[in-house]
Amino acid sequence: MASIYDDFSRYFDEAAQFSDMDRGLLEQVKTCNNMYHMSFPVENEAGEIEVIEAYRAQHSHHRLPTKGGIRYSTMVDADEVKGLAALMTFKCAIVDVPFGGAKGGVCIDPYQRSPEFVERVTRRLVIELDHHSFIGPSIDVPAPDYGTGEREMAWIADTYRTLNPHDIDHFGCVTGKPLTLHGIPGRREATGLGVFHGIINCLSDPEAGHNLSPGLDGKRVIVQGLGNVGYHAARELSDHGARIVGIAEHDAGLYDANGLDMEAIAQHRWEHGGIAAFPAGQVFANSQETLEQPCDILVPAALEHQLTVDNADRIQAEVIAEAANAPTTPDADRILRDRGITLIPDLYLNAGGVTVSYFEWLKNLSHVSFDRMLVGAADMQSRRMLDTMQAITGNALPLHERAMLERGPTEIDIVNNSLAKTMGESYERISTLRRERGLPDLRTAAYLYSLELVAQSYVELGFFP
């Protein structure tokens, strides 16, 4: 099967046909700048030496630092990491985050290994990256991805800090850290929340090509993967009126046209490691079949290459919301497009994570939380306004209402509102470009918008005449 990098190349080439920029320049924009393949020894659970394979790809240095998650999976290889790093470059461009794209991968199955082993691997990985200048707040900043989370990010921050005690910005070397370790509220939910905003934006767009009404009320949703991205996306969608009718996990799928209890299934998944034994609806031992059931919105939020020529004909959704990276192969994309199904592309839809990672990095560099310097001024402004209104009208508000109106924004308010605004503005950019340049779909528009932006940066940096 073609790799994620092959998929990326095809999507890139299709979009590049609509650009009249210099071909050599576009070739530079497509190329992966750096790839570091590591093999390093780590003591395993049995006390033996195990050689670990790992990769870090930096796709584009037109902006620094480069940025992208680290995934832990036995499926990881050089092409996968290269393709995901390229997606990161274009994702950052779409949401106006000033980073180049990167991605890392470590070839282990974290779910089958002890926490102590995963910690040894993570700390050794940072030593390798640091010795080859592949990590640092101004160089390359990892984040969570498939198989990693706050725990791994904390180990990365701590190891980097130990190796670089004189770097005052050491906590900016990685994002997705726990709150107590200079993380930012809202990062954990950010990718899923961004997926929710992206879907809302697409449903409100009369030119997106689907027949669905704006808003989520009663919309039937199938989600694949109840991990970080899938769980938070499903929760937001369901909190805003959608009906989660299908959930596909690694061990099975569940479907009930009347709706599933998403929270109870997620709880079961965390407690038992799977959902096969959960007593609800129709159970599919082959979880892939869940994706083919009737729904309005299908949200693949687990792995790449889930929608292929083998199942594209049987998908019954009106909209496919690509929460995962590269869930649709280019051949399947063509089939789905020809069938009139609207795809919201990964490089826009799951960019909420890197957007809030950017906020976390900014917070780490400024060494202060966003609300700390704002909240006093906001309180004062509201107080003055309320005092003036009271003086004019002669009416005083009840104390609890006044207290609520006086309160300035908290850090989570700032983060979530900025994320919503970013997802809205970015959608507007790609849908406007699609309309103005007569592009076939949102994916082509997203690629074209970002590849021309990156190309322009290279020109401005003086790389090309």
Using the contact rule CB under 6 A, the part of the chain among 195-203, 298-306, 389-397, 453-461 near ligand NAD is 298-306
Report the run of H or E that residue 144 belongs to, with start and end. strand 140-144
Distance CA 435, CA 25 (A): 25
Which residue number has the CB closest to ligand NAD? 227
Position among 100, 183, 198, 353 found at the interface with ligand NAD (CB under 6 A): 353
Please say which residue, 203 or 321, places its beta carbon nearer to ligand NAD: 321
Please say which residue, 249 or 371, places its beta carbon nearer to ligand NAD: 249
The yes-or-no answer on residue 82 being catalytic is no
What is the torsion angle, in degrees rounded to the nearest 10, for the CA atoms of residue 415, residue 441, residue 331 and residue 324?
10
Pairing outcome for strands 34-43 and 49-58: antiparallel
Tokens representing residue 141 in the block: 């900043």
275 binds ligand NAD (CB under 6 A): no
DSSP 384-435: HHHHHHHHHH--PPPHHHHHHHHPPPPHHHHHHHHHHHHHHHHHHHHHHHHH
**Amino acid occupying residue 400:** H
Position among 68, 144, 246, 345 found at the interface with ligand NAD (CB under 6 A): 144
147 binds ligand NAD (CB under 6 A): yes
Tokens representing residue 148 in the block: 């990693």
249 binds ligand NAD (CB under 6 A): yes
Using the contact rule CB under 6 A, the part of the chain among 14-22, 114-122, 318-326, 415-423 near ligand NAD is 318-326
Distance CA 42, CA 50 (A): 5
Tokens representing residue 176 in the block: 């997705």
Backbone phi, psi, residue 298, to 5°: -105, 125
Using the contact rule CB under 6 A, the part of the chain among 22-30, 43-51, 248-256, 362-370 near ligand NAD is 248-256
Tokens representing residue 429 in the block: 């950019």
Position among 181, 303, 378, 397 found at the interface with ligand NAD (CB under 6 A): 303
Tokens representing residue 244 in the block: 């989660």
Length of the chain: 465
Tokens representing residue 278 in the block: 């959960």
Choice among 82, 103, 177, 219 that is catalytic = 103
228 binds ligand NAD (CB under 6 A): yes
**Minimum distance of ligand NAD from residue 47's CB (angstroms):** 28
| x-or-dash string of contact with ligand NAD, 180-209, rule CB under 6 A | -----------x------------------
87 binds ligand NAD (CB under 6 A): no
Burial of 191 (0-12, 13-18, 19+ CB in 10 A): buried
302 binds ligand NAD (CB under 6 A): yes
Distance CA 357, CA 248 (A): 28
62 binds ligand NAD (CB under 6 A): no
Binding site for ligand NAD (CB under 6 A): 144-147, 191, 224-230, 248-250, 287, 301-303, 323-325, 350, 353
Known catalytic residues?
Answer: 103
